[in-house]
Chains A and B, each alone.
Chain A
Amino acid sequence: MHLTDNQLNEYLDNESAQRAEIETHLDSCAECAARLLALQTLFADLDSLPEAPLSKNLAARFAPRPSLPAQLPRWLTLTAVLQAAGALIALMIAVPFFSLMLPQVETPPFAIWLIEVQALWTSSLDALSNLALSFVEGYQFTNLPTYPVELSTLFIALAVVSIFWVFGNGLLLRNQTK
């Protein structure tokens, strides 16, 4: 009477409750010992299978995404603040200017308030220029262009905003591409 395949498999898998009996039989039965050896060879073949290398890194998917520095340099923050302030000033100047240029558009209450601020600003500039002229006696400013003050103020404000915009955004973009 030979051992069954199940008995041999369970014996090699350490799942048999009849180990002593099976070993006794194997000692005296060459045929069953040969079948056991064939099964052990198969186990060795399966164990000999080497690990194949990966062709890509699966961990890359779980790598943290690059982000901007948590805090921008102080000087860059200052530039951004100046840029925002310049844009705000330009807006305050532009709203009454365009309201005056386009009288058919209904002027909102906010624009009326800004027109008053604009008038105050214009009179301040006039007073400042008169004060400056009083120090330069006898000189005639005949070659100065005769733009309305509102328009020249707008040009100055837009120029300042443009400089800050180009400078500030250029630096911010450069910082991101690093």
Chain B
Amino acid sequence: MNALTDRDLILRARRGEVEPYGELVARHQTSVFNVCYRILHNRADAEDLAQETFIRALDRLHTFDLEREFSPWVRRVAANLCLNYLEAQKPSAELDEDRDEDKTQSPAEQVEVKERSAQIRMALASLPPQYRIVVELRHYQELSYDEIAVEMNIPLSDVKSHLFRARKLLAEKLHASD
């Protein structure tokens, strides 16, 4: 099944086949999970939301434009779900303390990367929900200002102000921790 394209798998999933959709999930689950994890900074919640993303995506698969890429589409679904989740949550949500590691690096480098990654994740997690989503869509999903405005259903001026303020806050937090 690995030789099949995402488009082939989507067409088969639309016909009601389960296995092709499972293959599609297997291909994109890590990137979708990371969208949720960057926004929520809580592993358990991120995994739940990633799972929910694929269930929602399956429900909406008939609306997916086959001429486009599946990955950006499903990651935007994830970002929107996370935004809805954050807006429904109280601000006291617990944050994970676990760190990132890259096994190809030396132990000293790994420690350094882990600490820096933890600082970035903590800084992202401290942002207001709307700011987090704008940063996610701009930096990790590489959407233009106009696309973000459409995706979040907010004016272009709000996109800019959210993004620029978010960057200012991130820079302050990251410089403060240096």
Contacts and interface: CB of A to CB of B under 8 A. Distances in A.
Interface of A: 5-6, 9-10, 13, 15, 38-39, 42-43, 45-64
A146 B23 CA distance: 71
Given A42-B171, A58-B33, 7 more contacts: A15-B145, A46-B140, A50-B117, A55-B43, A58-B29, A58-B50, A61-B22
Contact of A45 (B22, B47, B102, B174): B174
A15 B34 CA distance: 26
22 contacts: A5-B164, A10-B160, A13-B145, A39-B171, A45-B116, A45-B170, A46-B135, A48-B117, A50-B113, A52-B100, A53-B30, A54-B33, A56-B47, A57-B26, A58-B25, A58-B47, A58-B51, A59-B22, A62-B18, A62-B22, A62-B25, A64-B18
Interface string B112-126: 010011001100000
A68 to B, nearest CB: 17
B22 A49 contact: no
A51 B30 contact: yes
Interface of B: 18-19, 21-23, 25-26, 29-34, 37-38, 43, 47, 50-51, 54, 58, 100, 102, 113, 116-117, 120-121, 135, 138-140, 144-145, 160, 163-164, 167-168, 170-171, 174
Q: Is the interface of B mostly helix, strand, loop or mixed?
A: helix
